[in-house]
A and B are shown apart, each in its own frame.
Chain A
Amino acid sequence: MIEMAQYLIVVLVTIGIVMVTVLLHVAYLTYFERKILGWMQDRMGPMEVGYHGLLQPIADGLKLFFKEDIVPAQANKVIFTLAPILVLVPALIGFAVIPFGRDTIQIFGLTFRPYVTDINIGILYILAFASIGAYGVLLGGWASNNKYSLLGGLRSAAQVISYELSLGLSIVGVLLLAGSLSLVKITEAQGGGMFHWFIIPQFVAFVIYLISAIAETNRLPFDLPEAESELVAGFFTEYSGMRFAFFFLAEYANMILVSCIATILFLGGWHAPFEALSFIPPILWFVGKVYLFLFFYIWIRGTLPRLRYDQLMMFGWKVMIPLALANILVTSVVLYFVKG
């Protein structure tokens, strides 16, 4: 009985810590993005609330929380309410299998691990829930009973289905090298310095993953579902207040999630690049690498214009998927001859 209680405490506390940390990073990612975009465009970014605008995300959150919650008259109320939840939950649930660090921590005789759980199908679990996120966008667009929302939702569904394929296929090469679907085992397979990281043998897969991940999270230059210049705000045109905030939080949580996966699959997770640098705690390496990807995302947003819709689909089906398939073929043939 006591063991059971201890187990429950450890699991619940770990989940709590992971959720709070992720949500804090999500809130400050919006600040990070506005600041970087500001500097790229020769502006200051948010400056008013707190020192250099540091309290801006909190002010924004409070504002959204107290906004009036409007449901359009002709909307399907149940699905309209359900959609933001269907977007946010899959985005947050994926963090359960992300290994953030290496060392377990002992507090009051309880052992805390740096991840919630390590299941043997870790990466498939994340892909499964990522594919559920598309429902929220699709249903939210449909339930709003607005032409722009519906178009945004439909675009998003088509885009997510197409790019999910190349995303999944780009991961297969890494799985072949690591010989496991568990994210902890994939990280451990890349130990021993940066020349063992999978980014070197799987560089093509890395590029495909980065591009598909941007499309999966509906970010510029692939943000067709919410293209302001043609669809007002796409699938969340009719949303306001906290429900709008849910879509927003989900987008940023998804950005962090795909960056975490990229870190684990291609940059060796919490491993230090050189043995000499391993005095820095593993968890800091992990966070640093994740922020490298997040900066890359924002950099892309500040640099590239939006693609046209047919170009996006053409690129996904005729370039990304054949490349990903070729990468799997080459990887497995080479592995067959190297490992025998």
Chain B
Amino acid sequence: MTLILFSYFAAVIVATAIGVIASRKPVNSALALLVMFFHVAGLFVLLDAEFIAAVQIIVYAGAILVLYLFVVMLLNVRAEEGYHRQFVVGLVVGLAILIEAVLILSRSGFADRFPPTVSLAPSAAAIQGNTEAIGRALYTTYLFPFEVASLILLVAMIGAIILAKKGIFGKEERRK
């Protein structure tokens, strides 16, 4: 049963991911991406990580993709514009990522690199609930990476505010 569901989710993820980059209309790409996010959430549910599945939908499908669609609709991008110019760059980046993926997969010791205490094994997660498991892992084992990530987000936030408010800051200085 799990295998059938996994194959279904994986197949749809691959198909819609191709749809995202192959479609010529930006809105269709965004819709394909939406379907893909849902199926990725499905994979998380299969792994007994319901919390991450819900967060995946809330953050990616519910917030980020809506903003993408927003921009696409506001700018009214034409089908041919903006795409397919960065073919060479895309090829180089794509090759690099492909080589990395192959390298990671070829070192088959991937699974046992994770310390057993933090892996969300179904039994442990089912006993204490996977929300608690994630909270505990984030605030004990992974406290430092967590703090670094929040610092980076804070910097990005300040950067966005400064970029957006350029005109306002300029005016205030002139007034002084």
Contact = CB atoms under 8 A, between A and B. Distances in A.
Contacts of A120: 50, 129-131
Interface string B59-72: 00111001101100
Nearest to B55: A124
Contacts, number: 71
Interface in A153-182: 153-154, 157-158, 160-161, 164, 168, 180-181
A324 to B, nearest CB: 16
B38 to A, nearest CB: 9
- State the majority secondary structure of interface residues on B: helix
Interface string A130-170: 11101100110010000000100110011011001000100
Contact of B58 (A127, A142, A157): A127
B74 A154 contact: yes
Nearest to A180: B129
B57 interface: yes
Given A121-B51, A161-B66, A181-B131, A131 B61 contact: yes
Interface residues of A, number: 29
A135 B74 CA distance: 15
Given A79-B27, A161-B63, A124 B69 contact: no
A161 B55 CA distance: 15
A125 B52 CA distance: 11
Nearest to B69: A138
A120 B122 CA distance: 14
Given A121-B50, A124-B51, A181-B131, A138 B58 contact: no
B34 interface: yes
B50 A128 contact: no
- For the complex of A and B, list the 5 residue pairs with the smallest distance between their C-beta atoms, beginning with the closest: A131-B62, A124-B54, A128-B57, A121-B50, A128-B54
Interface of B: 27, 31, 34, 50-51, 53-55, 57-58, 61-63, 66-67, 69-70, 73-74, 129-131
Given A79-B31, A131-B63, A154-B73, 6 more contacts: A128-B54, A132-B57, A132-B61, A157-B70, A161-B63, A180-B129
